[in-house]
Amino acid sequence: MIKKVICALGLSLLVATTANAAAKTLKAGSLFCQSEEAFDTQMKYLADDVQEFAPGCGATNKDYKVVILDLNLMSATSVKVIENGLTVWIAHESLR
């Protein structure tokens, strides 16, 4: 029984890791920042109801295929944009 549980847990971790490596889509109109620090600054702007982009941040003008480099559910998720090779930080909710 314990072997089955360990095997199932191992397989679920393998599937989760593999799923993150697959290309995802960053939706048009999504916030992106050039660094994690810029993303944090943008979140402070939003919390303070400042309606402008922080330096180094902007919004996507179309859908982009990306590869997740570092998935972070509590802060910025790092992704590489396949089309141009840029690494940007986004909110994980912007992915589909």
Domains contained in the chain, number: 1
Q: How is residue 50 written in tokens?
A: 């400042």
Contacts for 29 with CB less than 8 Å, ≥ 6 apart:
59, 60
CA distance 58 to 95: 16
Question: Does 12 reside within a domain?
Answer: no
Question: Does 74 reside within a domain?
Answer: yes
Question: Does 13 reside within a domain?
Answer: no
Question: Does 51 reside within a domain?
Answer: yes
**Region of poorest pLDDT, from 2-16, 34-48, 66-80:** 2-16
* Domain range for 68: 23-94
- pLDDT tens for 66-91 read 999 999 988 999 999 999 999 999 99
CA distance 81 to 70: 13
Question: Does 84 reside within a domain?
Answer: yes
Question: Does 55 reside within a domain?
Answer: yes
Instruction: Indicate if the pLDDT at residue 7 is higher than 50.
Output: no
Q: How is residue 85 written in tokens?
A: 């090779």
If one compares 14 and 41, the residue with the highest pLDDT of the two is 41
CA distance 63 to 87: 15
CA distance 5 to 15: 15
Question: Does 65 reside within a domain?
Answer: yes
What pTM did the predictor assign? 0.76
Question: Does 14 reside within a domain?
Answer: no
Instruction: Indicate if the pLDDT at residue 56 is higher than 90.
Output: yes
